[in-house]
Structure 1
Amino acid sequence: RNGGYTVLTSRFLPPILFTEEEAVSIFYAFQSLNYYRNLPFDTEISSVEHKLYSSLQSEAKIKIDKIRSYIAFWNPKRTIDTPLLNDVLKYSIENRNLHIQYESKSGIRKKHIRPIGVYAHDGLWYLPAYDYHKKKILLYRVDRILSILSTEENEDEFMNLKEWFNFIEVKNPIRLHV
């Protein structure tokens, strides 16, 4: 009425133009995730895949379908659910301490931890975290976290997953022939 303008705030991205090869490479990346039972942002990944596929020309769709039939990043499909994967990832990013209920081979225990991040290996999700009781970084399987009892904010920064990977010493495996 009195002039001026406003910018609408939206969480939608403007249209992104991909070449056919870029779109194919995105599906190639999606193929590498197919054998994980749970993924962070699983529904969003499916949505992106559907939107991208439906926008492709028929030649590109044929190419994508062939890729799905001829290439796989195979990991044995695990039947173990990780229902708290998204929560653990979110709290790691938010730099929060967690009080969790954790089931290990020795039983169910309460743990007070500071998560570093999550990563997948051999079909399972792992959480390296600082254990306040043991005063060291331990590795937890996310599927064994039964519940998150509470969270605490942290003011100070801690190492993230990328820094932890650079910090740990990867030992060469010993091969045994039986």
Structure 2
Amino acid sequence: MNGRKLAIMRLMDSRKKFTARELAERFGVSVRTIQRDLDALQEMGFPLYTEVGVNGGYRVLPNRILPPLQLTQNEALGLFLMIEYLQQVPDFPYGSMREHLAEQYFSTLPQDVQDLIVRMREHVTFVQHPGEHAEMLTTEILHAAVDKREIEFTYHSRKGRKEIQAYPIGIYYENGFWYMPARHKEHVLLYRVDRMQQLRVLDSIDESIPSLQSWFKSEDDREGVEVVLQFTEFGTRLAHSDVLFQSIQGHEWRGLVPLEEFPFTARKLLAYGPEVKVVSPEPLQQAVREMLEKSWSQYS
């Protein structure tokens, strides 16, 4: 593809509509030359269509094919590895295109780079532990969050199945699962996306719904209880990679935790086994003991 065709693709992406004469004047060529360029782009798959009439011109379809990237070899290898990684993430937004993208991208690379990728794949892998998601919902949730629209869905919690209406704030991926914070009535609650089914986007819009990034930065207005944890040397190393406890200082973690989050916090602490001890408060100690007793009772 020559430089003029690439420039036409970028220019068409930057504006809704152009006439062939406008493009010819911009590039200093004849109208006929521009029309040949546009015909060639359409044959390559660039989604142009023509509007006839006085106010007509060439327009790009909304779901257009974007111009190719100009990458160095190392950048091309890095991009391919990123695509490989994303293929392991369950229910990734727009995930249906991942395999197609990997195949299409791979086929456009020079043969020597393809050969290098084939050899490289024997020496790298990405280990994920995806659950069995009943439905692929992240794309719909993401669109609803951007549009600030209410959604309705069936949720399978530990207490049974519920029908819920809420405004999604966004989605984030952590430890093999997608999570959706959403405003339900007057509170923001956290839902696991793989436990959601039969999602429907409603017409209601609430412009006051924050973005996910602003929600992450906002302070929790719930009253918290000070929690003090003592980690071992190994537990400290684990805590540094844990979003909840990564603010650990030395071998001690201190923070305010709302009472309603104690069951969740206790379950997280159980994963550390003997590498952590709850110094205070007593209700969290009790929550950990009760979970340990339930686990032990299965073997007694």
TM-score, structure 1 normalization: 0.82
Shift of 1:67: 3.3
- The aligned residue for residue 171 of structure 1 is 244
User: CA offsets, 1:26-68, max 9 Å, x none?
Assistant: 1121222232232211222222221210011122112222332
Query: 1:8 is paired with a residue of what secondary structure?
Result: strand
| Residues 1:21 and 1:92: Cα distance change in structure 2 (over 3 Å) | same
Query: Structure 2: how far apart are the matches of 1:117 and 1:83?
Result: 15
With 159-168 and 123-132 compared, the bigger mean Cα shift is at 159-168
- The aligned residue for residue 66 of structure 1 is 119
Question: Max radius of gyration: which structure?
Answer: 2
Q: Is the 8 A contact 1:101 1:146 kept in 2?
A: yes
Aligned pairs for 1:57-136 (under 5 A) are: 57-132=110-185, 135-136=186-187
Query: 1:54 is paired with a residue of what secondary structure?
Result: helix
Identity %: 24
The amino acid of 1:142's aligned partner reads V
1:159 and 2:232 matched: no
1:32 and 2:85 matched: yes
Query: Structure 2: how far apart are the matches of 1:95 and 1:83?
Result: 20
Give the CA RMSD over aligned residues. 2.5
Q: Which has the higher contact order (CA 8 A, sep 6+)?
A: 1
Number of matched residues? 174
Considering fraction of residues, name the structure with more helix. Answer: 2
Query: Structure 1: how far apart are the matches of 2:162 and 2:130?
Result: 28
Query: Structure 2: how far apart are the matches of 1:77 and 1:171?
Result: 21
The amino acid of 1:80's aligned partner reads H
**Any gaps of 5 or more consecutive residues in structure 2?**
1-19, 23-56, 221-242, 247-268, 276-300
1:8 and 2:81 matched: no
Shift of 1:124: 1.6
**Any gaps of 5 or more consecutive residues in structure 1?**
none
The amino acid of 1:176's aligned partner reads G
User: CA offsets, 1:94-150, max 9 Å, x none?
Assistant: 210112221111111121211011122222211111111xx2211101121122245
With 123-132 and 35-44 compared, the bigger mean Cα shift is at 35-44
Query: Structure 2: how far apart are the matches of 1:81 and 1:65?
Result: 33
Q: Is the 8 A contact 2:130 2:177 kept in 1?
A: no
Query: Structure 2: how far apart are the matches of 1:28 and 1:168?
Result: 36
Q: Is the 8 A contact 2:150 2:203 kept in 1?
A: yes
Query: 2:59 is paired with a residue of what secondary structure?
Result: coil
Shift of 1:17: 2.0
Which of 143, 152, 169 is the matching residue for 2:194? 143
Query: 2:274 is paired with a residue of what secondary structure?
Result: coil
Query: Structure 2: how far apart are the matches of 1:34 and 1:150?
Result: 26
With 101-110 and 148-157 compared, the bigger mean Cα shift is at 148-157
Query: 2:273 is paired with a residue of what secondary structure?
Result: coil
The amino acid of 1:40's aligned partner reads P
Query: 1:14 is paired with a residue of what secondary structure?
Result: coil
Query: Structure 1: how far apart are the matches of 2:134 and 2:202?
Result: 22
Query: Structure 1: how far apart are the matches of 2:132 and 2:154?
Result: 21
Q: Is the 8 A contact 1:96 1:152 kept in 2?
A: yes
Query: 2:58 is paired with a residue of what secondary structure?
Result: coil
- The aligned residue for residue 70 of structure 2 is 17
Q: Is the 8 A contact 1:101 1:145 kept in 2?
A: yes
